[in-house]
Structure 1
């Protein structure tokens, strides 16, 4: 059952579409047979996607340890500053492990490239990226997700963990913010 429409937000991907795509993504990841998997969920935006993906992976017999990392390249801005900072680091070693970075949006690529390089520097065996939303038009660095929920135009999206000024994370769908001149 889809949530009601919010003023100024046009639904883009329904809760049902998201659930179906996550089921498919989990099957794709399971086919790779990750070993000693560490799922690193990028906070804050990746928490809803990360939880749903972890449960879907479990249904595909993929065992994992889950950690959280908080990175920032935005601060209070709507555009990236270009500088990535670690606000909260993971608390376990990654050496010789398969790492799955889980994030809500792959946009500029700066945050996920930083996180991927950090895990490789720490000795990860393999680092893959799962992004709920891929916005290739905003890319500022060479990086691609291994698993993508949806490829999206350069819309300002909210819901399903993604926010606008700390609002709308709770929406069960992904919607386009239309009332700020950026939605299409």
Structure 2
């Protein structure tokens, strides 16, 4: 038995690039210049890299950090959040932008935000490439949003399904046929 998988494009490379530049300009216009960007790994790595480069072009020179949280494993349903790698920098008094690929249930970003606030961050704002509000389980919203995401499982541009398709330069949704 095999399963046929098709990936249909939701947001192409050009749309993503243009939106990342717009977000960077918004950040540059509203955030302090001594900014710490904390990327939530693994899914946000492409978005975070493109965003900090765009911030540079917009006149900011943010510092960069990473937090590696796991809530999916190899599946498609969020479960318990585990810290696999923590932020190493002292965040006390710092203005932080937490960058993630998708704001869905909100549990992972709320966990990361609360962790930074507990450590004394001066402010924590959220930049999410995709916002899927219909799946929200926690009262949280992003300050900077790339696109509102339909209620579909998405892959590409850093996001995966079972560790596949992170490398795609676009964001697509997975269409699965019944097993043959």
Give the TM-score range, shorter chain: over 0.9
Task: State the partner residue of 2:89.
Answer: 92
The Cα of 1:157 is off from its aligned counterpart by: 0.5
The residue correspondences of 1:51-66 to structure 2 (distance < 5 A) are 51-66=49-64
**C-alpha contact (below 8 Å) 2:73/2:162 kept by paired residues:** no
The Cα of 1:180 is off from its aligned counterpart by: 5.5
The residue correspondences of 1:116-127 to structure 2 (distance < 5 A) are 116-127=113-124
SS at match of 1:21: helix
For residues 180 and 84 of structure 1, the distance between their equivalents in structure 2, rounded to whole angstroms, comes to: 30
Residues 1:144 and 2:151 aligned together = no
Greater mean alpha carbon deviation, residues 14-23 or residues 172-181: 172-181
> Which structure has the higher relative contact order (CA within 8 Å, separation 6+)?
2
Task: State the partner residue of 1:130.
Answer: 127
Residues 1:160 and 2:161 aligned together = no
| RMSD of equivalent CA atoms | 1.2
Provide closer, same or farther for how the CA distance between residues 118 and 180 of structure 1 changes in structure 2, counting only shifts above 3 A: farther
Provide closer, same or farther for how the CA distance between residues 157 and 70 of structure 1 changes in structure 2, counting only shifts above 3 A: same
The Cα of 1:36 is off from its aligned counterpart by: 2.1
SS at match of 1:164: coil
The Cα of 1:77 is off from its aligned counterpart by: 2.4
**C-alpha contact (below 8 Å) 1:35/1:98 kept by paired residues:** no
1:39 corresponds, among 16, 37, 52, to 37
Residue deviations 1:85-125 (CA, integer Å, cap 9, x gap)? 11100111000100010110100000000000111110001
For residues 73 and 177 of structure 2, the distance between their equivalents in structure 1, rounded to whole angstroms, comes to: 19
For residues 30 and 139 of structure 1, the distance between their equivalents in structure 2, rounded to whole angstroms, comes to: 28
> TM-score, normalised on structure 1?
0.91
Residues 1:67 and 2:65 aligned together = yes
The Cα of 1:164 is off from its aligned counterpart by: 1.0
The Cα of 1:68 is off from its aligned counterpart by: 0.9
**C-alpha contact (below 8 Å) 1:35/1:97 kept by paired residues:** no
Greater mean alpha carbon deviation, residues 124-133 or residues 28-37: 28-37
**C-alpha contact (below 8 Å) 2:74/2:163 kept by paired residues:** no
Task: State the partner residue of 1:177.
Answer: 174
